Chains A and B, each alone.
Chain A
Amino acid sequence: MQGVAVTLAIFFVTIAAFLVLRSAERRLSPRTSTAPARVPFTGGRSPDTHAWNRYHVRYYPMSLLFLAFDMEMVFMYPWAVVFVDEGLIALIEMFMFIVILLFGILYTWRERALEWA
């Protein structure tokens, strides 16, 4: 539990420290903000619209592929722990598992679904 406590402490202390440091800039330099100063920078001309939009994520097929592979990693971690004890059978199982998944990548690649431009 010591390790968990330290991890949580480090996480929250770092966040707090950075937020405090960030607020220190008010002391260093007065903050002014006028309308022209707030215009998003693209080279000196004003945008027509807000930048936030229904952004076309071109790599959406890849992100779906990622979901499946993320799942695969969940299986691999516990497998790694017992691998040596279980021996050859564990290797074969994982080999088959991964080869099956590699077909997924092969298919995606052949369908050119990883490209977007």
Chain B
Amino acid sequence: MSALGVIVAVLSVAVAAAVGVYIAAWVDIVLARAVAGVAVRPLEALVAPLSWGAAAALKARTTTERPDAETWALAPALLAALAAVGLAAVPLAPGLLAADVANGIVLFGAAMALVVVAVFLQGWSPNSPLPMIGGYRFIAEGLSYEIPLAVVLIAAALPARSLAIAPIVLSQENLWNVVRQPLGLPLYLMAALGLAFWGPLALPEGEDLAGGSSLEVSGVSRILWRIAQLMILVAVSAMGAAVFLGGWLGPLLPGAAWMIAKTLVLLVLLVGARHLVARVPTERYVIASWAILIPLSLLDVFIAGIQALVAAR
């Protein structure tokens, strides 16, 4: 265990998260303009996240009458830390992995399970009605997407015979999981949108709650919350690329380039979903998740299981 190795790993995850977040914010702006039918100007939009963030940063922090100040401060930090841990669990190339643990998808699952805590605290802490409704909504949402998320990751682990991510990537050498387990990636992406409370699953922060759990937040805290949310998007995109799109596997280019390219593809998909899919109603989402998505994810496990058995024979 070398201290230098730990420092390098922490720094590289920080850089990856920062770059990923910036790209996500930029892609969001570009896609929004494209969908709105106004001139896109991708290069000009490159500075937009920076200037928008700067404008927001110069605002003072607001508070409410009797908030839970400590948990309110903790919420964005916790969300970001969980996203960073999730991102650290994803290998960039063979051997290039920050958090090399034997139970990679369990680590990822544990980090993502705690996202519910961060978002709930963000909504609960200000002691304000609309954010609180948002926070409670996210619990309903979180309890609904968590099981499909874990189950499709488990299905991907079946052919690899391991819960670590690198063997899962290697097990896709002949055929990527996106083809082998056709239900896996769509279910994963739906859960990923929920994790990032983004676009169609932005239930805690929906426009119907006037911003919901982040309604009372201003200034730097507001940007930090948005950054943490985008970090989650980046982390789930990277994990999706590794587990379903064959990670670093690919011809010609070096492995890391493939991994980055695949992550970006998923990131664009997830970010774009916000501009094309309407926000789903909370209650109907919960029912659909339990009555349809969870059974489908279990079906996915069986498809994966039968396939793994046939392949092993």
A residues whose Cβ falls under 8 Å from a Cβ of B: 1-7, 9-19, 21-22, 24-25, 28-33, 35, 37-42, 47, 50-52, 55, 57, 59, 62-63, 65-66, 69-70, 73, 76-77, 80-85, 87-88, 90-91, 94-95, 98, 102, 105, 108-109, 114-117
Contact = CB atoms under 8 A, between A and B. Distances in A.
Contact of B290 (A25, A29, A62): A62
A29 B223 CA distance: 15
A29 B60 contact: yes
Contacts of B220: 21-22, 24-25, 28
A98 B159 CA distance: 19
Contacts, number: 225
Closest 6 CB pairs of A and B: A40-B128, A18-B77, A25-B220, A3-B100, A14-B81, A3-B101
Contact of A85 (B57, B78, B124, B161): B161
Interface of B: 1-2, 5-6, 9-10, 13-14, 57-66, 73-74, 76-78, 80-82, 84-85, 88-89, 97-103, 105-107, 109, 124, 126-130, 132, 136, 139-140, 143-144, 146-147, 150-151, 154-155, 157-159, 161-163, 210, 215-216, 219-221, 224, 228, 283, 286-287, 290-291, 294-295, 298, 301-302, 305-306, 308-309, 312
Given A40-B127, A51-B127, A108-B290, A6 B81 contact: no
A63 B143 contact: yes
Contact of A25 (B127, B128, B219): B219
A62 to B, nearest CB: 6
A23 to B, nearest CB: 9
A106 B157 CA distance: 27
10 contacts: A6-B6, A11-B84, A17-B77, A19-B77, A28-B220, A29-B61, A38-B63, A40-B216, A77-B103, A109-B290
A82 B309 CA distance: 12
Given A18-B228, A31-B60, A62-B140, A39 B305 contact: no
Majority secondary structure of chain B interface residues (helix, strand, loop or mixed): helix
Contact of B286 (A5, A31, A62, A102): A62
B290 A6 contact: no
A84 B6 contact: no
A105 to B, nearest CB: 6
Contacts of A65: 290
A66 B113 CA distance: 13
A37 B215 CA distance: 14
A111 to B, nearest CB: 12
B70 to A, nearest CB: 10
B215 A25 contact: no
Given A33-B62, A91-B309, A115 B9 contact: no
A99 B302 CA distance: 11
A98 B221 CA distance: 43
